[in-house]
Amino acid sequence: MLHPKIANLSATRHILKTFNLRASKRLGQNFLIDSAVVDGIVEAAEISEGDNVLEIGPGIGTLTQGLLEAGANVTAVELDKKLPAVLAQTLEGYENFKLVQGDILKVDLEELMPQNFKVVANLPYYITTQILLTLMERKLPVTKIVTMVQKEVAERMIAAPNSKAYGAMTVAVQFRADVRIAFDVPPESFIPRPEVTSSVVVCDIRETPFKVDETFFTKVVRAAFGQRRKTLLNSLIGAGFQREAVTKALEVAGIEPARRAETLTLEEFSRLAISF
Ligand code: SAM
């Protein structure tokens, strides 16, 4: 079957009109209309024939089509109840496509994706951070995450210590992945146009080099960044840690209690977490 390309303005408008759809702001719907961007995402995800891909929010199937054409087995989770009927037509004839209607934050990913898989998505911006942290913090067999996010979020993901963008989200992501921005995407590549520039970010998931309990590490990092302007000592106490325990841990880790969370490297956070 010959599939007409969805990733352009006229095809997208035609599909929206045919199904009487209007992009939902509440669901973060900004549909891609730029085939070069779809190709760029597929390339950044290094898709080869037979790769298992989880797509979050397939929309009308624009990016999905690019992934399927590259030979991926795509499992897509879409919250909008109106879209399964649309996808049944726009992606008709692709055999390696499976759709789950539901909320990505609620589906049982362990059951849905039992084998090694990549995540590829043009994320709904209202829950980007929550989705990324869920994917990172759960023990899932994810090897790579390639996502479109707001440029500002991308900058937080790749930030270095002592910068304004460096925070709990930076540490959570960099703890588990090598992160880079593949390319930026202007508002004109979508309808409706978002108000901000977007970026495609590539996270290569790897074993963390630090021997530390991940749950406790996350707790310490969140507590440390809880009150950004306070010292590390006060932030940790403010988050419920005992003063003596914090003082001792900081001393064992060789970290000045008066420092602020945003000055700590990943290695220092790990040292701190194992010093409790
Ligand atoms: N992939 C399409 C594209 O690139 O044109 C659509 C991307 S659009 C930015 C985000 C998609 O995520 C929408 O289709 C929206 O309905 C869906 N979505 C929003 N919240 C979701 C959730 N909690 N779980 C799954 N999908 C969600």
- Structure confidence by residue, pLDDT tens digits, 4-42: 899 999 999 999 999 999 999 999 999 999 999 999 999
In this prediction, residues 228-253 reach a mean pLDDT of 95
Mutation probe of ligand 1 site: the residue of 30, 80, 196 with most atoms within 8 A of C-beta:
80
Of the two residues 1 and 213, the one the predictor is more confident about is 213
Q: Answer whether 219's CB lies under 8 Å from 227's CB.
A: no
Tokens at 74, concatenated = 């795509």
DSSP state at residue 107? S
Q: Please check the confidence at residue 134 and state whether its pLDDT lies above 80.
A: yes
State the pLDDT at residue 1: 58
pLDDT digit string (tens) for 246-267? 999 999 999 999 999 999 999 9
Helices (H) and strands (E) in the chain, counts: 12, 9
**C-beta atoms surrounding 180 within 10 Å:** 14
Mutation probe of ligand 1 site: the residue of 31, 107, 199 with most atoms within 8 A of C-beta:
31
> What atom in ligand 1 is closest to the CA of residue 104?
24
Q: CA–CA separation, 170 vs 19, rounded Å?
A: 40
List beta partners, residue 97: 74
Tokens at 9, concatenated = 């303005």
Beta pairing class for 97-101 and 177-185: unpaired
What percentage of the chain exceeds 90 in pLDDT? 93
Tell me the one-letter amino acid at 4: P
Mutation probe of ligand 1 site: the residue of 56, 146, 148 with most atoms within 8 A of C-beta:
56
Tell me the one-letter amino acid at 9: L
Cα 248 to its chain centre, rounded Å, is 35
The ligand 1 site (C-beta within 6 Å) comprises: 27-32, 56-59, 62-63, 77-80, 103-105, 122, 124, 127
- Ligand 1, atom 18, lies closest to the CA of 57
Q: CA–CA separation, 19 vs 157, rounded Å?
A: 37
Banded pLDDT at 210 (limits 50, 70, 90): confident
- Ligand 1, atom 21, lies closest to the CA of 79
List beta partners, residue 148: 122, 200
Q: Please check the confidence at residue 2 and state whether its pLDDT lies above 80.
A: no
In this prediction, residues 165-170 reach a mean pLDDT of 95
pLDDT digit string (tens) for 61-94? 999 999 999 999 999 999 999 999 999 999 999 9
Quote the pTM value: 0.95
State the pLDDT at residue 218: 92
